[in-house]
Structure 1
């Protein structure tokens, strides 16, 4: 029996801009996990089982007379894609494909199945890839696990930056620059998967960051789940209609993240907090300009309360619900934030940063586009 796990994540800053090639974000991996267990099957059939996803809710819409299921919100789609991609990779190492039972256990959703927005689809993809790489005894580094999981995730979701996949693979605090997904989609048609994984990927940069010792991270959950893929789709419409405003947002977000990363390098909590506030303002303006409800009234209240006690707060991820994050000095009275949240029915998620051993401090890959 083989068991592997992958942590959930939260975005600290750089949301929406990071979906564009080469634009950065800061993320953190958290100590709640998706666990994947694999054991060889004695039967002619294998099974995929998850207690959390047993009664999974599927989203669907109409396309003419057709009922179309949105696979991007179905965790089994990510598991199946991870299996397909990893076994394709295993075949290139001349491994014989076997029949097995695969069990998924997730801490990233609440007991009644509500999503917290902790990157469960990325974590289940990474955990499945890691477990299968061990099952087939494949010689993989974190970089190769990231690329396999990124391919599998992207083939289901079709949008997004894959930053959540990077956080699940590398752990801790990371700075992530998204790679060129159009290039990936094109190369996937022509290259075998090992050649694709071995190539440098255009614009990809991943750097581990060391947080100041006095930085306390607080996480509040609004009680309202949100669909990242649908919110990103709506921003894409804004991008098409108001290109100048969108480009200005991208450049200001990039400069903000660069200053924030420098704050990590200098161990300067005040600078990090300043850029969190600046990034919040950028996202609020993006929401106003695009008509997308990024900072909901509950998220606004979450941020206001944190600011009253000296914290710097903003939405995390696509917004529209899910979580807000707060950076606050650990010597401040952050318990007052939590008490005030509770009065306003904002649930604290008592999570800590999760570090993964043997992390490579910097991955930089640049490839000129032809």
Structure 2
């Protein structure tokens, strides 16, 4: 039996801009996981089993008279894509393919199946790739696992930055700069996977960050799941119609993230908080100009409460629901923040940062009164 796990993630800053080539964001990996277990199949028939996903549904729409299925929010699409890509790599190394059972267990959704927005599609992709690489005894490192997982994820989603994949592979706090996805799509037609994995990918950069020792991360969930891929689609329409405004947003976001990275390098929590607030303002302006609701009323309330106690807060990821994050001094009255959240029906997710291979472990534990 082979078992591999991948953590969930949250964006700290840089959302939307990071989908463009070479633009940065900051993410964090969390100590909730998707676990992939592989066992040998019997009777030459393999299975893919998941307790969490057995009631999962597909959304579809009309394109003329055609039914078009949207697979981007269906976890089985990512599992199958991860299998296809990893086995393509295994075949290129002359590995004989097997028949096996895959079991997926996820901590990234609630017991009732509600999505918290912790990057479950990326985590299930990474966990499946890692498990299959071990099953086939493939010679891989973190960079190769990231690239295999990115190819598999992008084959399904077709948009997005793949920053959530990077967080699931590398763990901890990371600064991520998105690579040229069009280049990747073109090279897939000409290069086999060993060659593609060995090349540097244009614009890609993944940098581990050390957080200030007094930084506490609070995560609040609004109870309203959101579809990242559909929100990104809507912003793409704004990009096409108002290119000058969109590029001003990109430039300001890049400058903001670079200043925030400097704050991590110098251990300056106040600087990090200042840039989180600035990044929130950028997203609010993007939402106003595009007509896309990024900060819902409950996410706004989450941020207001955190600010009252000295925290810097914003939406995480595409917004429209899901989670908000707070960077705050660990010596602040954190239980009071959580009490106020609870009174506003904002659920605190008691998660901490997950570091791969237990490097640099410290956690500021936050408990509710």
| TM-score of the two chains, using structure 1 as the length reference | 0.96
Whole-angstrom CA distance in 1 between matches of 2:185 and 2:270: 41
Corresponding position of 1:98: 98
The aligned residue for residue 307 of structure 1 is 307
Whole-Å Cα distance in 1 between the matches of residues 105 and 233 of structure 2? 29
- Comparing 55-64 with 234-243, greater Cα deviation is found at 55-64
The count of aligned residue pairs is 359
Q: Deviations over 1:244-264 (max 9, x none)?
A: 000000000000000000000
1:272 alignment partner in structure 2 = 272
Question: Following the alignment from structure 1 to structure 2, what is the Cα–Cα distance between the partners of residues 240 and 268?
Answer: 37
Query: What SS does the aligned partner of 1:208 have?
Result: strand
Alignment of 1:183-262 (within 5 A): 183-262=183-262
Does 2:50 match 1:56? no
Match of 1:323 in 2: 323
- Taking the aligned partners of 1:45 and 1:306, their CA distance within structure 2 comes to 52
Q: Deviations over 1:122-161 (max 9, x none)?
A: 0000000000000000010000000000000000000000
Offset, 1:92: 1.3
Shift of residue 57 of structure 1?
A: 2.2
2:91 aligned counterpart, secondary structure: helix
Runs of 4+ in 1 over 2 A off after TM superposition: none
Alignment partner of 1:42 is 2:42: yes
Taking structure 2 as the reference length, the TM-score comes to 0.96
Counterpart of 1:368 in structure 2 is: none
Distance in 1 of aligned mates of 2:45 and 2:187: 33
What stretches of structure 2 of length at least 5 have no aligned partner?
A: 360-369
Aligned residue number for residue 139 of structure 2: 139
Unpaired runs of at least 5, structure 1: 360-370
SS in 2 for 1:189: coil
Correspondences of 1:19-98 after superposition (within 5 Å): 19-98=19-98
- Distance in structure 1 (CA, Å) of the matches to 2:320 and 2:343: 21
**For 1:358 and 1:329, how far apart are their aligned partners in 2?**
23
Deviation at 1:225, TM superposition (A): 0.2
What's the CA shift for 1:358? Answer: 8.1
1:252-279: CA deviation from partner (whole Å, max 9, x where unpaired): 0000000000000000000000000000
For residue 72 of structure 1, give the secondary structure of its aligned residue in structure 2.
coil
Provide the secondary structure at the position in 1 that maps to 2:76: helix
Query: What are the superposed Cα offsets for residues 27-62 of structure 1, whole Å, 9 maximum, x if unpaired?
Result: 000000000000111221100000000010221111
Report how far residue 93 of structure 1 moved: 1.3
- Alpha-carbon distance between aligned partners in 2 of 1:311 and 1:110, rounded to the nearest angstrom: 26
Query: What are the equivalent positions in structure 2 for 1:100-139 lying under 5 Å apart?
Result: 100-139=100-139
Mapped partners of 1:115, 1:191: distance in 2: 37
How far has the Cα of 1:68 moved from its partner? 1.7
Supply the RMSD in Å over aligned alpha carbons.
Answer: 0.8
Rounded to whole Å, the distance in 2 between the matches of 1:305 and 1:66 is: 47
Q: Deviations over 1:200-220 (max 9, x none)?
A: 000000000000000000000
Query: 2: CA distance between counterparts of 1:195 and 1:114?
Result: 40
